A and B are shown apart, each in its own frame.
Chain A
């Protein structure tokens, strides 16, 4: 069964450095999402992406964050200047359609980001 794959599984970065988290969504999917879970808290929505542009973003997704689909297969999340509070598990998800009408989102295994 096709899967969403994320790399790396764990990323350790110094505060203030840029980090890029990578995702390969399922190939025929059209909607892409990033979520994060800070340890002990709820999974939170960051951003959705459709037709090569951001379709919705949360308050968390400020100017330090950006997303890109550079080559038609990868979907990346960049954090420009990381802060300690960016430490979290970051999940990528994809959908053939919007998460409605009985279609679940398909999640990757996540990237654990640790900011020192």
Chain B
């Protein structure tokens, strides 16, 4: 069974704090790792797609790293702002699939002003 785990489940930080979350996924038959940002009543918004071991990607204050050998990815947010409050989902796709994504449960981030 292919399983994706995310931790922590929820996180409360103060504005200006930096934070990070973890996504664990199967290390065998890896194809790609996706990070999405999801606000309530909106569509999940793609942040990053990473495919290579050691990949690091950055978008403004948000960055992500990937370790396919040990099966984990970290998402970092530097200097959190209230507008960063959302659920951050990671999803894994595997070789041989038609691109379907296997999701973790998400990390719900709340940033207090």
Contact = CB atoms under 8 A, between A and B. Distances in A.
Interface stretch (B18-26, B41-49, B63-71, B75-83): B41-49
A100 B32 contact: yes
Nearest to A9: B41
Interface size class of A (residues with CB under 8 A): 20 to 34
Interface in A88-116: 91, 95, 97-110
Contacts of A102: 32, 49, 51
Contact of A109 (B43, B51, B102): B43
A55 B104 CA distance: 23
Residue in B49, B91, B100, B103 with the greatest tally of chain A CB atoms within 10 Å: B100
B29 interface: no
Interface in B24-67: 31-32, 34, 36, 41-44, 46, 49, 51
A56 B98 contact: yes
B99 A42 contact: no
A103 B33 CA distance: 10
Interface size class of B (residues with CB under 8 A): 20 to 34
A104 B43 contact: no
Contact of B34 (A91, A104, A110): A104
28 contacts: A31-B99, A33-B101, A35-B101, A42-B104, A42-B105, A42-B106, A43-B101, A45-B101, A45-B102, A48-B98, A48-B99, A50-B98, A55-B98, A91-B43, A97-B99, A98-B97, A98-B98, A99-B49, A99-B93, A100-B31, A100-B51, A100-B93, A102-B32, A104-B49, A105-B34, A105-B46, A106-B46, A107-B43
Interface of A: 3-4, 31, 33, 35, 41-45, 48, 50, 55-56, 58, 91, 95, 97-110
